[in-house]
Amino acid sequence: MNRFLPLLALLIALIPFGFSSQYFVNLAMLTVFSAFLGQAWNISGGFGGLTSFGHAVFFGIGTYTAATLSTRYALSPWFALPIAFALGATAGTMIGAASFRAGLRGSYFALVTLAFAEVFRVLATASDWTRGGQGINVPLKLGFANFQFSDRRASYAVMLALLILAMLAASWLKRARFGARLAAVRENEDAAKALGVDIVRTKTMALALSGGLTALGGVVYTQTYLFVDPQIAFGVERSVEMLLVVMIGGAGTVWGPVFGAIALHIVADTTRSWISTPGFAPMLYGVVLLVIIALLPGGIAGMLRRFVGDK
pLDDT tens digit sequence for 174-202? 999 999 999 999 999 989 999 899 999 99
Residue 55: closest CA among 98, 103, 112, 136: 112
pLDDT tens digit sequence for 24-62? 888 899 999 999 999 999 999 999 999 999 999 999 999
Angle (deg, nearest 10), helices 106-126 and 77-101: 140
Name the strand (E) or helix (H) holding 56. Answer: helix 56-72
Beta bridge partners of 136: 228
pLDDT tens digit sequence for 8-20? 787 888 888 887 7
**Helix %, strand %, coil % of the chain (to 5):** 75, 0, 20
Instruction: Give the pLDDT confidence score for residue 311 in this predicted structure.
Output: 43
Domain chopping of the chain, boundaries: 21-235
Instruction: Give the pLDDT confidence score for residue 19 in this predicted structure.
Output: 79
d(CA 256, CA 266): 15
pLDDT tens digit sequence for 250-268? 999 999 999 999 988 877 7
Q: Which residue has the higher pLDDT, 277 or 16?
A: 16
pLDDT tens digit sequence for 77-86? 899 999 999 9
Backbone CA torsion sign across 85, 115, 38, 158: negative
Q: What are the φ/ψ torsions at residue 21 (nearest 5 degrees)?
A: -65, 115
pLDDT tens digit sequence for 283-300? 766 676 677 777 777 788
Whether the pLDDT of residue 109 is over 80: the answer is yes
Whether the pLDDT of residue 231 is over 70: the answer is yes
Look over the chain and give the mean of its residue pLDDT values, rounded to a whole number: 88
pLDDT tens digit sequence for 52-100? 999 999 999 999 999 999 998 888 889 999 999 999 999 999 999 999 9
Instruction: Give the pLDDT confidence score for residue 73 in this predicted structure.
Output: 87
